[in-house]
């Protein structure tokens, strides 16, 4: 059976925000610090990046920061992102360049998951970008301010998908809509230990999984659909012996192997 070789969790930024953004109807007034992660997945047939973090320029250029993270229109505030957290820097520490990435898989197109596309392109990454048609449609609709259109427009080539599919040997795309219209999680089989399910923002926190509580923000109020997606991931983990990795849980992240260590 074909499996992936290794996974590296990559900390690309941190973001301090009200917990209710991650847990619908819970945690109002409680501030949490969340990791913003990308994952490099090495397979026998190439390297996959699941998500690409934020656009560094929008955080550090004063004019762009004022435009995109204006507190009057963007309640979350800007993340904290150090130069060494940019993806080309992570790759360089591994002896790799952006051109060594073979496929980019975007779980969804919010600013903290798709913003790094432009920098990767500028640094020579020509990899196909996999994204769902429903996600592109939602991102281009103008209904959700957490999509920054220039994060993804003109940063193809896009391989537009519709539903679940095999991404590579041991790597499968899992549909988990709710948080966004075309949100996708990823199933990864490894040589050692249980399969890993990268939840993406289907489950920001371990609490989302344990209590089956939807993320605080869902596309057009699709909280019930988001809860169904969490139950789907839990059933998949139970039936196949997998482990779900929540995406913005600092305590969980600190329990993972720290870069440059990896999971095999």
Cross-strand bridge partners of residue 203: none
Q: Identify the H or E element spanning 236.
A: helix 223-240
The tokens for 16 are 């301090």
Classify burial at 40, counting beta carbons within 10 Å of its beta carbon; exposed 0-12, middle 13-18, buried 19 or more.
buried
Q: Are 77 and 16 in contact (CB under 8 A)?
A: yes
pLDDT in tens, 39-67: 999 999 999 999 999 999 999 999 999 99
User: CB-based contacts of 26: which residues, under 8 Å, 6+ apart?
Assistant: 19, 20, 207, 213
pLDDT tens per residue, range 201-247? 999 999 999 999 999 999 999 999 999 999 999 999 999 999 999 99
Residue with tokens 């507190």: 71
Q: Which positions ≥6 away from 81 have C-beta within 8 Å?
A: 12, 13, 36, 53, 54, 56, 59, 60
Q: Can you tell me which residue has the tokens 């260590």? A: 261
Please give the average per-residue pLDDT across 138-144, as a whole number: 96
According to DSSP, the residues that pair with 10 across neighbouring strands are 38
Residue 1: pLDDT over 70: no
Condensed to tens digits (0 to 9), the pLDDT of residues 176-208 reads: 999 999 999 999 999 999 999 999 999 999 999
- Cβ neighbors of 115 (< 8 A, separation 6 or more) are 52, 53, 54, 55, 58, 148, 151
| CA atoms of 233 and 155, how far apart (whole Å) | 30
Q: Beta strand pairing status for 243-245 and 103-105?
A: unpaired
Average pLDDT over residues 131-153: 96
Model pLDDT for residues 156-183, shown as the tens digit of each residue: 889 999 999 999 999 999 999 999 999 9
């Amino acid at each position: 059976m074909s499996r992936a070789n290794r996974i590296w969790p990559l900390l690309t930024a941190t973001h301090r925000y009200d917990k209710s953004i991650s847990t619908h109807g819970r945690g109002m007034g409680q501030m949490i610090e969340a990791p913003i992660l990308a994952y490099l997945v090495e397979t026998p047939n190439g390297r996959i990046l699941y998500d690409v973090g934020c656009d560094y320029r929008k955080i550090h250029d004063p004019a762009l920061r004022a435009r995109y993270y204006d507190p009057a229109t963007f309640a979350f505030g800007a993340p904290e992102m150090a130069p060494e957290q940019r993806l080309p820097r992570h790759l360089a520490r591994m002896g790799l360049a952006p051109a060594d990435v073979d496929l980019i898989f975007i779980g969804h197109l919010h600013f903290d998951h798709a913003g790094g596309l432009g920098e990767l392109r500028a640094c020579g990454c020509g990899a196909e970008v996999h994204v769902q048609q429903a996600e592109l449609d939602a991102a281009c609709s103008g209904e959700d301010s957490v999509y920054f259109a220039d994060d993804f427009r003109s940063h193809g080539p896009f391989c537009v998908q519709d539903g679940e599919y095999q991404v590579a040997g041991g790597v499968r795309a899992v549909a988990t809509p709710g948080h966004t219209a075309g949100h996708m999680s990823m199933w990864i089989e490894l040589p050692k230990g249980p399969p890993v399910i990268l939840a993406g923002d289907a489950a920001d926190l371990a609490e989302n999984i344990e209590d089956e509580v939807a993320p605080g923000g869902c596309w057009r109020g699709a909280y019930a659909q988001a809860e169904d997606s969490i139950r789907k991931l839990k059933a998949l983990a139970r039936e196949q012996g997998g482990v779900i990795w929540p995406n913005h849980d600092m305590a969980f992240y600190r329990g993972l192997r720290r870069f440059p260590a990896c999971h095999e």
